[in-house]
Amino acid sequence: MGEKPYRTIEGDTGLGLLVLCDHAENRIPDSYHGLGLRPEDLHRHIAYDLGAEGVAIRLAEALGAPAVISRFSRLLIDPNRGLDDPTLIMQISDGLLVPGNAGLDGAEVQARVERFYRPYHRAIDRAVAAGIAAGKPPVLLSVHSFTQAWKGVARPWAAAVLWDKDPRFPLPLLEALRTIPNVEVGDNAPYSGQLKGDTLYRHATLRGLAHALIEVRQDLILSEEGQAEWAAQLARVVREALRAGPRLHAIEHYGSMTGPCAAKGSSDGCEDED
C-alpha cells in the first residue's frame, strides 16, 4: 500500500462542516501478511466499520462538504485512539488473537504510527485549518457503524449519536434523527462518546469546535442501497442540525483542559502527549 493512508473529498469549506470516517477500510499492506488472520476475519467488524465508508462518502457528496476518510484497517493501528491508549493496537479483538500484533516492539509500533496514524490526523488538521481560514470554523462529524448484536444481545438502535460535554451539535442531531419514522435512536449508546484521545477529542474538543459522532447499525448499511438510503436520511438530519445557530461555529471549550494542547487549542504538535 504505497498510496496515502487516507483519502480526501473536496468540498465547500464555507459550509462549516467536515466529515470524517476513522474505520472506513480493512486494507492491510501485503508486507503484513494479513496480520496472520484468515481472509474472512478481515471482513468482520474487528477490521473496519462495515458500511461506514459508503455512508460517509455519500453524505459528504450530498452536502457538498469536505471529508477525510481513512484507508487502513483499525487492526494495524486504531486512529480513533490516543497514542497512550492500550487498545491502540489490539492483540485480541472480540476474542480473536491477532498474531501479527502480538509482542510488538516499540520500533514497530512507532513505524505504524508514522506510516498510518500521523498522516491521517495531519490530513484532518489541514482540513480543519482550511475551514478556519475560510472564516467558518468547521463542525466535525465522524461516521461509524456498530454491530446489530453484542455477545448475543440485540441492539435495538438503528442509529446513535455519541458525544462528550459539548452539546451544541449532538442535541440538534438527536432531535432531527428522532423525526425519522420507526427508528430507535441511541444517545451515547451502545457506546459512550467520552473517550479522551479519540479523533474528535484531538481535533474538536481541544480546539473548542462543535462535533459529534454518528453510529449506524451495520445490518442497515451493508448494501449500497442501504448506504445510499442512510446517507440521504443523514444529509437531511445534518442540514437541520446545522441550523442550530452561529454558536456551532464559535470556539467554545466545555469541561476542564490543561496542558500545552489546551493552550494551543489545537492537536498540532501535541500528538506525543495523548
DSSP string, 117-128: IHHHHHHHHHHH
pLDDT of residue 204: 97
Task: Give every CB contact of residue 239 below 8 A, 6+ residues apart in sequence.
Answer: 63
* Mean pLDDT of the region 124-131: 97
Domain regions of the chain by residue span: 6-273
- So what's the pLDDT on residue 260? 31
Please give the model's pTM, rounded to 2 decimal places. 0.92
CATH second-level architecture of 6-273?
3-Layer(aba) Sandwich (3.40)
Residues 216 and 183 sit within 8 Å (Cβ to Cβ): no
**Confidence grade of residue 151 (pLDDT, cut at 50, 70, 90):** confident
SS3 state of residue 187: strand
pLDDT digits (tens, 9 = 90+) for 6-45: 999 999 999 999 999 999 999 999 999 999 999 999 999 9
**SS3 call for 79:** coil
**pLDDT over 90 at 269, yes or no:** no
